[in-house]
Structure 1
Amino acid sequence: MRSATQTAIKTQRSFAIVSTPDRDQQTRTLSAELDVVGAFSDAVAAGRDVERALEEVLARCLYHADIERAAICVRATWRAGDPSSGFLVLASRGFANVPQALTTLAADREALRRASDDRTTVTTSADVMLIPLVSVDEVIGVLMLDTPRRAHWNGLVQGIARQVSAALALARRFERVEASERRAKTLMEHADEAIVVVSMDGTILETNRAAERLLGASTPGLVGRPYADFVRDLPTSGSMVALLSAVDGASAGTMQVTRPNGSTATVECTVGLVDVGDDCAYVTFLRDVSERNALAERLKGAQKLEAIGRLSGGVAHDFNNLLSVVISYADLLLADFADNEEVRLDLMEIRKAGTRAADLAKQILIFGRDEAPDRQFISLNDVVGSVDKLLRRLIGADIELTTSAAPDLGSVHADATHIHQVLMNLVVNARDAMPDGGRLRISTGNIDVMPGHEDPEIGLPAGRYVRLTVVDSGTGMDAATIAKIYQPFFTTKSPDRGTGLGLATVKAIVEQAGGKIRVTSQPGKGARFHVYLPRVDVPSVRRRNSSTMPAAVSGGHETVLVVEDEPQVRELLVDILDRAGYNVVEAANGGEALLIAEEERGPIHLLLSDLVMPRLNGDKLADRLRAMRPEMKVLFMSGYVDGRLPWRERISEGGRILPKPVTPAALVARVREALGPELRQQGGVS
């Protein structure tokens, strides 16, 4: 757009070559054009939009040209327009309304075609002048106005048309920029990633909604604040520019976001450099990877647990075979040296160590989920009550124990032995956290978790639960320790006091029963463990105490086929059963057992077989032997029970299972039980 000074200089030059009357007219024309241009410039400078600025232009045009009507019309392609005429009205004066202006424009189609296509100023049959508005060799519209009453004003309206064309071109570029900014703003606002625009000195200039959620503050509370107030692991604001400059368009790595409420999140940051007016700024894209990292850690932990579980099952199986030999021979020697107290004391220590090792193997099996639970409907009140005296002896006199059993407590469907293990492990853990004494509280209760109040941290869904709570006043734990307490073999205790399997076993048992466990603790403020187990509306049953064997168990004279692939265990089993009076036939594997069954003339009353053996498992062996000897009873043994083996179905078909490590008393009792009283009456006659 020509400036007023440039126009004035051109006017002075023109005066030198025109006559005085023409000069006066030209002066008035140029003065009017400057007035029109000035009105447009003043309107734009005042912040009015293009349409309002053009309205000012038309008002001055009507005044100076002494006409009554004028309109500025643009093609529909310039902006979404009226499809009937292909034009829309940006500004008008003197017309009753916009439709009237469009009707006037479309009245003489030939004149409109010439003005828009041939770029020719034409006068319509209705004495309306159409002046093409041209921008960059493109007709973008027409200036429509009544034909001026004085012909010398035609030059004025031509000049106005040029200024309007320039203004429209500028307006179109401006609107495109605005539209682009709106699209960018919309994309920014609806982006999943947090976007923060940061000045060169590290001050937050702009944020989107995702950034508000991530940083925990609204945009007004973020703008103007130092970026380093929220995003940690950054250098100080003075050196942050160097960091951001070094990673323009690339990842700045993993950082820590700290919200005003103190909570944190781990984010990945990508940085880009953008122009902001006359300066530059950094656009940082923050992706919250806290959940992704947590999932990765859980997956890593699950894979580790799976690997350890597979290993633990095999190790515990072999371990229990060895312990069967240690414990059972200790029992046999205790019987042989009944009158030698000195030897008996040594043997008792051997047996005690073997029993402790067996307990450890059982924890490994539970942790590895290779011991199938014997679920019943039980009451946690019964569990707590049954071990109350034992717990008081376990924790010592310097720890005050209180228990609180909720009335009308619901039942849970779980293995009572496993739940005993959970309680014992939690109590031992609490005891060790109070070396100088303290307070220990055990309580039970019914808990209903309503929809909307789930606990996503431990994955506790809405539902009905029975809760077991163990609270101590011990040393407590920090967040870093809490994050690791369920990891197998992690312990804060000395090697002689902890194996690192206690809480790992607790978590495995609880989750195996369909429950969840939560811990809250702070250093110096004790710890609180909540165990949530699904509640069922079924009366609980009291289990009989089966941990003690009869003082004396009678043997028999029946024939027992012992199948065990471990030589030491097989020799032990044969020795025990032979001492009990049984006729024992042994085999090292399933193939040998089948040959013996084919060659043995007399009856084989009982198959005593390891459940897991190379080539031919005990359950498959039992199937083939039953086909040959339908009257034969079956008793399985195993150091672990893999959930994939159909051992429960085998029991229902007449088989039983004896867990390892075995003791002489347990073996003789279970063999006698498997053979049944009717065979005892027959005296084992073959």
Structure 2
Amino acid sequence: MPERFGRKANPKTAQRSILPWKARNPMKLPVRVLIVEDLPTDVELAQREIRKVLPQCEFLQVDHEEAFMDALREFRPDIILSDYAMPRFDGMRALALALQHVPETPFIVMTGSMNEETAVSCMKAGAWDYVIKEHIKRLGSAVLSALDQRAVKQEKLQAERSLRESEELFRNLFQNHTAIKLIIDPDTGRLVDVNDAAVAFYGWSREEMLRMRVQDLNTLPEEEIRKRMDDVRNRRKAHFEAQHRRADGSLRNVEVFSSRIEVKGKVFLHSIVIDVTERKQIEAERERLMTAIQQLGEIILITDTTGKILFVNQAFETITGYSPQETVGQTPRILKSGVQDEAFYKNLWDTITHGRTWKSRIVNRKKDGTLYTESATISPVKTPSGKITHYVAVKRDITEHLELEAKFQQAQKLEAIGRLAGGVAHDYNNMINVILGYTQMAMAQVRNHPKLYEQLEQVLAAAHRSSEITQQLLAFARKQTIKPEIIPLNASIEKSLRMLHRLIGENIELAWHPGKTVGNVYVDPVQLEQMLANLCVNARDAIADVGKLTIETDRVTIDDAYCKSHPEALPGDYAVLEVSDNGCGMSAEVMEKIFEPFYTTKEVGKGTGLGLSSVYGIVRQNKGFIHVYSEEGKGTTFRIYFPHHETPGKILETRQTVAPVKGKGERVLVVEDEPMLIEVTREILKAAGYVVVTATRPEEALQIVSSDTVGFELLISDVVLPEMNGKELAKRIREHLPDVRVLFMSGYTANAICHFGILDEDVDFIQKPYSVASLTAKVRSILER
């Protein structure tokens, strides 16, 4: 028996889906849906999908032929959905009956599975569409599409009827006119008639265009198109511009002259369309070119053949300060700086008057008197016959570029020197470590020989001095292993003031002016003290006798504009440390080299040339930057910028001297590829009471561990080794000895245990060169944890 179903659905969701179809569908709602299906579950699935897109619908289910025929007569469905195969009825039979009795009603076949051949057969037999039940979610869109197709067919029939009614309307005049003409129904926007010129212009056939609306041609929103049609209908005439689409997808600019006409009491719009695309393109190109010229960052200047200025763009005023009103009618001599001689300008004129392009740099003067350097290209403008009519100059202000280029070259130079210095310091540290170790052990054995002990003290002092030099080299190269902390800048400087007083002596006044809002910085406190000492010593040496040294702090905010001219800076808040003196000052030539290692203006024996280079390295390694201001005879100021940190800092306690500590017989494995250094390390640890086993290569160390039956309490390894780094070696050894403790040693930072010179957490490390006391204390502290 047929079964009717209600039409409950979510009207908000479904309304959005039905709107496009409803706009074209001439039927009244509700939509009547006939479902030919024997399975209730499949019927429910179909209803659910259809209700999503058609909230106002009525369903009827049948499952045999008699009920199907009754439904066609009495239910009069708007659309039919049929299963392909059923026990008492099949979809192909239902399709045949539908085509015989209601051929205009859309028919969609639903099936559990369907191959391509069956689907083609259904479509050839007259089905409008087919839906596989596995993809039942497609049913809603298929139903809407079928209903839309039906509406289109009905519209076509209506259009054909309308066409017949207007066939004789101004036929000869309309069709044979060379202008593009359209007859439009203002109620719907439908194209009632088009002439041959319109067909040729738009590219669609006449039949295609008569199925279209003016909305399909015009790119304006439908509301605006409808408003314009209403204006013509009410005012009888109108003129406007628009963009129309053509069949090939192109857009054309058109002028439309539209008027109202009446045929048998029906109002139509008669529109004449004129293609103005080429004219608009020429106007747009001219406007685009002028806009581009005005907005260029480079100067564009056009003169006649005598040099009189005819045009300048906005960049000319921005760069030079002269407005177009002040410039037009003048000659480029208003910018003349006097830097170039007459021969320079004679060469320029000889080049361009002979039809060639002139390129060079030139120094000019702005309206305010400032000199600037520009890169200029001046070209002659010629007629097709080769006659010169104008000259056009394209000029770019490169003053700032030249300054940045000089800074970049200096930075590259310092970077190259830094890499070299870092490499030298690494090898140098190993040798100093051997000297320190053996000297300290020898001194322990000759305490009863004062003369020899004193001589060894001199050797030790020289080794320490050499170590300081390597540390300065490493600081410049930014290869020191550092432990930055968030510390209050003012308090840290105040702790160093007594030491700085001793360094500069009594003849020099030390003034300290702390800023009130300086706050905290993230730096290595040891490096901060080292940097202050070097700056103060440099200031002391620049003051011949009596003078003044001033240390100040402040807090500043740096913006993007500042960063453009100072590429080493980043925007943000900075704590500034300023060290000034009233000494002899420096020339510009000296200032260019002051951060280079070993460069010094001091007498032989009075400086290593590493103090300021190490300051530069420390500042850069701690994410800061440095500026120098100096004038001969007046003094020098160093301004150092460190990023500001809000987190509360701490004041470091004074570092305590570490005394040598004895071992307790623990077994220590030492891995170092420098034979002399590994030997002195073995002697130091052995003398301190440890059992020491050494290896010069990682593979050798792994073999020792794998064959050893006792085990080791501590691994001491260089970070940089052949075959693998120290961190990887420690990982491999811990596979055999999971509880072994590890102490890394190196003469400079290594990425294996550091990132940008900052020691990784939970890593024990000792810096080369190390003393007997520092090594034994470090080993003991690790083993006692």
Structure 2: how far apart are the matches of 1:310 and 1:235?
Answer: 44
Structure 1: how far apart are the matches of 2:646 and 2:292?
Answer: 53
Point out where structure 1 has 5 or more consecutive residues left out of the alignment: 1-75, 77-102, 104-176, 678-686
Between the two structures, name the one with larger relative contact order (CA 8 Å, sep ≥ 6).
1
Structure 2: how far apart are the matches of 1:354 and 1:549?
Answer: 19
Counterpart of 1:506 in structure 2 is: 615
Distance 1:406 1:192, change over 3 A: closer
Note if 1:457 corresponds to 2:565. Answer: yes
Counterpart of 1:420 in structure 2 is: 529
Note if 1:215 corresponds to 2:344. Answer: no
Counterpart of 2:260 in structure 1 is: none
Amino acid at match of 2:718: D
SS of alignment partner, residue 367 of structure 1: helix
Cα drift, residue 464 of structure 1: 2.9
Note the 1:212-611 alignment, pairs <5 A.
Answer: 212-219=317-324, 224=330, 227=333, 230-231=336-337, 233-236=339-342, 240-246=345-351, 249-261=356-368, 263-273=370-380, 283-297=392-406, 299-301=408-410, 303-407=412-516, 409-445=518-554, 447-449=555-557, 454=562, 456-459=564-567, 460-487=569-596, 490-494=599-603, 496-546=605-655, 548-550=657-659, 552-611=660-719
TM-score, L = length of structure 1: 0.64
Distance 1:670 1:429, change over 3 A: same
Counterpart of 1:614 in structure 2 is: 722
Structure 1: how far apart are the matches of 2:447 and 2:453?
Answer: 7
Whether the aligned pair in 1 keeps the contact of 2:619 and 2:625 (CA below 8 Å) is yes
Cα drift, residue 398 of structure 1: 2.5
Structure 1: how far apart are the matches of 2:423 and 2:736?
Answer: 32
Q: Deviations over 1:611-638 (max 9, x none)?
A: 1110022212211222212232211111
Whether the aligned pair in 1 keeps the contact of 2:556 and 2:576 (CA below 8 Å) is no
Amino acid at match of 2:366: R
Q: Deviations over 1:43-92 (max 9, x none)?
A: xxxxxxxxxxxxxxxxxxxxxxxxxxxxxxxxx9xxxxxxxxxxxxxxxx
Structure 1: how far apart are the matches of 2:298 and 2:545?
Answer: 51
Structure 2: how far apart are the matches of 1:673 and 1:545?
Answer: 19
Q: Deviations over 1:332-374 (max 9, x none)?
A: 2333333444434433333233222222222222332323431
Distance 1:667 1:232, change over 3 A: farther
> Mean alpha-carbon deviation: is it higher for 395-404 or for 643-652?
643-652
Whether the aligned pair in 2 keeps the contact of 1:217 and 1:260 (CA below 8 Å) is yes
Whether the aligned pair in 1 keeps the contact of 2:585 and 2:635 (CA below 8 Å) is yes
Cα drift, residue 194 of structure 1: 1.7
Whether the aligned pair in 2 keeps the contact of 1:232 and 1:255 (CA below 8 Å) is no
Whether the aligned pair in 1 keeps the contact of 2:698 and 2:724 (CA below 8 Å) is yes
Whether the aligned pair in 1 keeps the contact of 2:753 and 2:759 (CA below 8 Å) is no
% same residue: 35
Amino acid at match of 2:317: E
Distance 1:670 1:227, change over 3 A: same
Distance 1:234 1:651, change over 3 A: closer
Cα drift, residue 663 of structure 1: 0.8
Note the 1:627-646 alignment, pairs <5 A.
Answer: 627-645=735-753
- Count how many residue pairs are aligned between Structure 1 and Structure 2: 498
Distance 1:306 1:525, change over 3 A: closer
Amino acid at match of 1:603: G
Structure 2: how far apart are the matches of 1:258 and 1:498?
Answer: 44
Amino acid at match of 2:376: C
Amino acid at match of 1:346: Q
Distance 1:181 1:557, change over 3 A: closer
Whether the aligned pair in 2 keeps the contact of 1:606 and 1:633 (CA below 8 Å) is yes
SS of alignment partner, residue 403 of structure 1: strand
Whether the aligned pair in 2 keeps the contact of 1:202 and 1:240 (CA below 8 Å) is no
Cα drift, residue 437 of structure 1: 3.5
Whether the aligned pair in 2 keeps the contact of 1:458 and 1:518 (CA below 8 Å) is no
Whether the aligned pair in 2 keeps the contact of 1:201 and 1:241 (CA below 8 Å) is no
Cα drift, residue 453 of structure 1: 7.3
Counterpart of 2:112 in structure 1 is: none
Q: Deviations over 1:121-149 (max 9, x none)?
A: xxxxxxxxxxxxxxxxxxxxxxxxxxxxx
Cα drift, residue 524 of structure 1: 2.5
Amino acid at match of 1:518: H
Cα drift, residue 311 of structure 1: 3.6
Amino acid at match of 2:534: N
Distance 1:492 1:232, change over 3 A: farther
Cα drift, residue 200 of structure 1: 8.2
Distance 1:281 1:523, change over 3 A: farther
Cα drift, residue 382 of structure 1: 2.7
Structure 2: how far apart are the matches of 1:413 and 1:475?
Answer: 33
Cα RMSD over matched residues?
3.8
Distance 1:398 1:207, change over 3 A: farther
Whether the aligned pair in 2 keeps the contact of 1:372 and 1:643 (CA below 8 Å) is no
Whether the aligned pair in 2 keeps the contact of 1:371 and 1:642 (CA below 8 Å) is no
Distance 1:215 1:357, change over 3 A: farther
Amino acid at match of 1:594: L
Note if 1:662 corresponds to 2:770. Answer: yes
Structure 1: how far apart are the matches of 2:517 and 2:509?
Answer: 26
Whether the aligned pair in 2 keeps the contact of 1:258 and 1:265 (CA below 8 Å) is yes
Distance 1:191 1:541, change over 3 A: closer
Whether the aligned pair in 1 keeps the contact of 2:404 and 2:565 (CA below 8 Å) is no
Structure 1: how far apart are the matches of 2:331 and 2:532?
Answer: 51
Whether the aligned pair in 1 keeps the contact of 2:375 and 2:397 (CA below 8 Å) is yes
Cα drift, residue 482 of structure 1: 4.0
Whether the aligned pair in 1 keeps the contact of 2:492 and 2:651 (CA below 8 Å) is no
Structure 2: how far apart are the matches of 1:197 and 1:432?
Answer: 58
TM-score, L = length of structure 2: 0.56
Amino acid at match of 2:741: K
Distance 1:671 1:255, change over 3 A: same
Cα drift, residue 565 of structure 1: 0.6
Amino acid at match of 1:240: Y
Structure 1: how far apart are the matches of 2:714 and 2:527?
Answer: 31
Note the 1:148-163 alignment, pairs <5 A.
Answer: none
> Mean alpha-carbon deviation: is it higher for 311-320 or for 204-213?
204-213
SS of alignment partner, residue 466 of structure 2: helix
